[in-house]
């Protein structure tokens, strides 16, 4: 089977894992997520890695990702290299082809040993040090935005947090949908709407963000709350149409 791959120059020790990833992946049972794509923890050379398997389910998508656009695995790797410290350390990606069309692909990174995601303090009113976490998250997001990085799926499960020496370290994952450009104030504030945050929690985050970014606090909070509610209304409308329960 034909394949194309790229490996991080700093991670050459993982080359055998990358080249034989189909075997390692199929023989490993440590799945941590499975939906359209599947994530597994695979230990190699005494190091835990996260391997994400991207499936291409039909011929149209196979043609699309073979000839017209980079695969999600390739984008995940390239974006991780591009934005550096904001993501877990990338190892490489590999694409496999059948009949000259993309069949499946994998992205591998070192496992980031996080303690929680931003989801936990957003859902738990009694979460320890909650306000500090939100303020540090605002600083992290501002750093992303200042580097002209817009994560198009900035949802709670994709924001990993580790407490270290009394402070908080953040990493973003699931990054194959990104934009790199100058961001307007609305671009920045709209990015927070995917958190599905309570108004009072979002106000804490935006107040800190506005202070760092030099934005008018009241206007920034008002715009952020508007974008947040607009997205909630849209998603709840879709749920009603499908007969599913809505979420406040």
Find, among 107, 116, 114, 25, the residue nearest to 74 by Cα.
107
| Domain end residue (candidates: 110, 140, 156) | 110
Quickly count: other Cβ atoms within 10 Å of residue 164's Cβ: 9
Residue 194 lies in a domain: yes
Q: Tell whether 124 and 220 lie within a shared domain.
A: yes
Tell me the C-alpha distance between 183 and 154, whole Å.
15
Q: What are the structure tokens assigned to 43, written together?
A: 């230990």
Q: Tell whether 202 and 229 lie within a shared domain.
A: yes
| Domain end residue (candidates: 92, 110, 128) | 110
- Reported as a single tens digit per residue, the pLDDT across 181-192 is 999 999 999 999
CATH of the domain at 196: 1.10.510
- How remote is the C-alpha of 158 from its chain's centroid? 4
Which pTM was predicted?
Answer: 0.93
Q: Tell whether 198 and 230 lie within a shared domain.
A: yes
Q: Tell whether 174 and 190 lie within a shared domain.
A: yes
Asked whether the predicted pLDDT for residue 224 surpasses 80, the reply is yes
Domain limits for position 61: 2-110
Average pLDDT of span 62-67: 88
| Domain end residue (candidates: 85, 110, 135) | 110
Find the largest Cα–Cα distance for the chain: 58
- Reported as a single tens digit per residue, the pLDDT across 9-61 is 999 999 999 999 999 999 999 999 998 899 999 999 999 999 999 988 788 88
- Reported as a single tens digit per residue, the pLDDT across 104-156 is 999 999 999 999 999 999 999 999 999 999 999 999 999 999 999 999 999 99
Phi, psi for 222 (deg, rounded to 5): -60, -45
In terms of DSSP H, where are the helices of the chain? 15-19, 21-27, 59-63, 72-83, 119-123, 130-146, 185-190, 199-213, 217-241
Q: Tell whether 89 and 164 lie within a shared domain.
A: no
Q: Tell whether 160 and 60 lie within a shared domain.
A: no
Q: Tell whether 149 and 216 lie within a shared domain.
A: yes
Quickly count: other Cβ atoms within 10 Å of residue 51's Cβ: 23
With left for phi above 0 and alpha for psi between -120 and 50, is residue 218 left, alpha or beta?
alpha
Residue 152: the pLDDT is 96
Number of domains in the chain: 2
């Amino acid at each position: 089977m034909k394949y194309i791959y790229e490996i991080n120059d700093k991670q050459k020790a993982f080359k055998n894992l990358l080249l034989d990833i189909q075997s390692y992946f199929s023989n490993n049972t440590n799945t941590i997520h499975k939906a359209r794509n599947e994530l597994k923890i695979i230990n190699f050379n005494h190091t835990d890695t996260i391997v994400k398997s991207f499936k291409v389910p039909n011929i149209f998508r196979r043609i699309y990702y073979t000839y017209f656009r980079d695969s999600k695995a390739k984008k995940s790797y390239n974006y991780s290299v591009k934005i550096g410290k904001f993501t877990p350390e990338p190892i490489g990606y590999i694409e496999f082809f059948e009949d000259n069309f993309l069949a499946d692909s994998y992205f591998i990174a070192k496992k980031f040993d996080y303690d929680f995601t931003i989801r936990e303090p957003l859902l738990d009113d009694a979460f320890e040090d909650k306000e500090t976490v939100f303020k540090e998250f605002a600083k992290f997001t501002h750093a992303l935005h200042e580097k002209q990085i817009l994560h198009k799926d900035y949802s709670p499960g994709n924001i990993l947090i580790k407490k270290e020496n009394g402070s908080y370290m953040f990493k973003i994952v699931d990054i194959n949908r990104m934009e790199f450009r100058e961001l307007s104030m609305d671009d920045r504030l709209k990015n927070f709407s995917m958190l599905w945050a309570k108004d009072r929690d979002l106000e804490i985050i935006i107040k800190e963000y506005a202070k760092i970014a030099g934005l008018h606090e009241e206007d920034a909070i008002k715009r952020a709350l508007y974008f947040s509610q607009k997205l909630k209304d849209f998603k709840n409308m879709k749920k009603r149409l499908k007969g599913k329960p809505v979420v406040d």
